[in-house]
Structure 1
Amino acid sequence: MGTPYYQFCPVAKAMELLDERWTMLVIREMLAGSQRFTELRRGLPRMSPALLSKRLRELSAAGLVTRTEDHGGTRYLLTPAGSELEPIVVALGGWAVRWIGELGDPDLDPKLLMWDLHRHVNRPELPGGRLVVSFAFSDVPPRQRYWWLVCNDGEVDVCDRDPGFEATIGVRTALRTLIKIWRGDLDWAQAARAGALTVDGSGEMHRLLPRLFLLPGGRWAQAPAPG
């Protein structure tokens, strides 16, 4: 638990638990489907393993998270109390999209973006066989510039090294542009018309790309706005 506010107000009581650094982002990751410690770490790459362990213990003690064991190891699952935070997380995201200004360069993380793209692949839209989507970001250092999503039989892997398969779709753009698409500030067609995004592949693959990802920007747009 965080520092007590010593107020009877329910908001104060909630924030004693939830305003600890990273806590709401751990909840966000679990709402997005992360259950394993390694999955949580990939969604929170700048959070130390020790602090993540501490936050999971605190959330478990507060009744928001349960820990279970199976053949794959330990899983962390939200309880009904933890799941009930989902509309709050969505509302916070929607508020930030509407009112928080331009993203700074330190906010742009290709590793986090690619991890989130990987878990938002629209699997029913995947064609049969292997589909490889390559990404080349023009505004990041060379060692982080190239990424691949490999989709095969409903499984999706994200790679920061060439997996050795020919790309079915190639996307060339700035990291900032693709993050704007992820946030819902921009769509694929707008970016392409503006010359900010180039897609390599067949006409069928061009048409597939906007349907290939169920991006969270739509959730932010659905968040309640001021009347």
Structure 2
Amino acid sequence: MTTTARGERQYRQYCGLAAALDAVGERWTLLIVRELLLGPRRYNELLADLPGIGTNLLADRLKKLCAAGIAERSETGAGHAYRLGPRGEQLREPVLALSKWGIGLLGEPSADMITRPHWALLAVQAMADASRLPDAAETYEFEVDGESFHLTVDHGALTTARGPAEAPVLSIRTDATMFVRIGAGAIGPFEALATGKLTFAGDPDAVVRCSTVLGLLERPGSHGGG
């Protein structure tokens, strides 16, 4: 790895992966992209949801992302915000795929680990596969630490959106840590229901269907309720 005149470290390899890592491989960069995947974010919002990054480092990473066309700075009525640019949008599928792969590396969280409710939506986007339930046409609503989003499957097609659903067949309520624990396989969905930290309203059979779409029943030790 070499260092440019501006102090940036680069691999100097004629390879797509090396070029990608030159652009987004620095610490914190992909986590900033993760935050922007859900829409424009103000600087202070990014700072709050990335504890430990430091204001100078965040400013530096945003500057580099904007220079590379990965992020853009846009003006809003309350100042300015950052959003993904065209190159940044191209990172959506790779980042979600990497997130799905990383979920399998998670175990029980330690006391010093933090989570955010909006990360649950990204986890759903990474894990959900509507082809697992090709004949279904229904919506599942999630409320995680007071933030709502929903997942709709429609004969193999899949959409997600923030906010409550109009007519969900199933509404699930839990906290962010429990949601990630379920996604990581640290606890099964029916075990989570038994703890009382995950509750639902709606069709009981839809719990199985939702778990199927999210791939939760494919994990070792997962089983249906009865």
Between stretches 37-46 and 13-22, larger displacement belongs to 37-46
In structure 2, what is the Cα distance between the partners aligned to 1:115 and 1:28?
A: 10
CA contact (8 A) 1:2 1:20 kept: no
SS at match of 1:105: coil
Q: Cα–Cα, structure 1 residues 39 and 62, in superposed 2: closer, same or farther, change >3 Å?
A: same
SS at match of 1:42: helix
SS at match of 1:46: coil
Is the counterpart of residue 190 in structure 1 residue 211 in structure 2?
no
Q: Cα–Cα, structure 1 residues 95 and 190, in superposed 2: closer, same or farther, change >3 Å?
A: same
CA contact (8 A) 2:118 2:147 kept: no
In structure 2, what is the Cα distance between the partners aligned to 1:188 and 1:69?
A: 42
AA partner of residue 102 (structure 1): G
Deviation, structure 1 residue 47: 1.5
Indicate the residue corresponding to 1:71 in structure 2: 77
Is the counterpart of residue 207 in structure 1 residue 201 in structure 2?
yes
Name which of 12, 15, 18 aligns with 2:18: 12
Return the TM-score normalized by structure 2: 0.58
Q: Cα–Cα, structure 1 residues 179 and 170, in superposed 2: closer, same or farther, change >3 Å?
A: closer
Name which of 92, 113, 130 aligns with 2:116: 113
Deviation, structure 1 residue 114: 3.9
Q: Cα–Cα, structure 1 residues 219 and 70, in superposed 2: closer, same or farther, change >3 Å?
A: farther
Which aligned pairs between 1:139-158 and structure 2 lie closer than 5 A? 149=146
**Equivalent residue pairs, number:** 171
Question: For residues 61-101 of structure 1, what are the alpha-carbon distances to aligned partners after superposition, in whole Å with 9 as ceiling and x for unaligned?
Answer: 11111111121210111111111001111111111123x25
CA contact (8 A) 2:178 2:197 kept: no
Return the TM-score normalized by structure 1: 0.57
Say which structure is richer in helix.
1
- Percent identical pairs in the alignment equals 27
In structure 1, what is the Cα distance between the partners aligned to 2:28 and 2:187?
A: 27
Q: Cα–Cα, structure 1 residues 61 and 25, in superposed 2: closer, same or farther, change >3 Å?
A: same
In structure 2, what is the Cα distance between the partners aligned to 1:38 and 1:119?
A: 21
AA partner of residue 113 (structure 1): R
CA contact (8 A) 1:91 1:220 kept: no
Q: Cα–Cα, structure 1 residues 101 and 185, in superposed 2: closer, same or farther, change >3 Å?
A: closer
In structure 2, what is the Cα distance between the partners aligned to 1:70 and 1:220?
A: 40
Q: Cα–Cα, structure 1 residues 57 and 12, in superposed 2: closer, same or farther, change >3 Å?
A: same
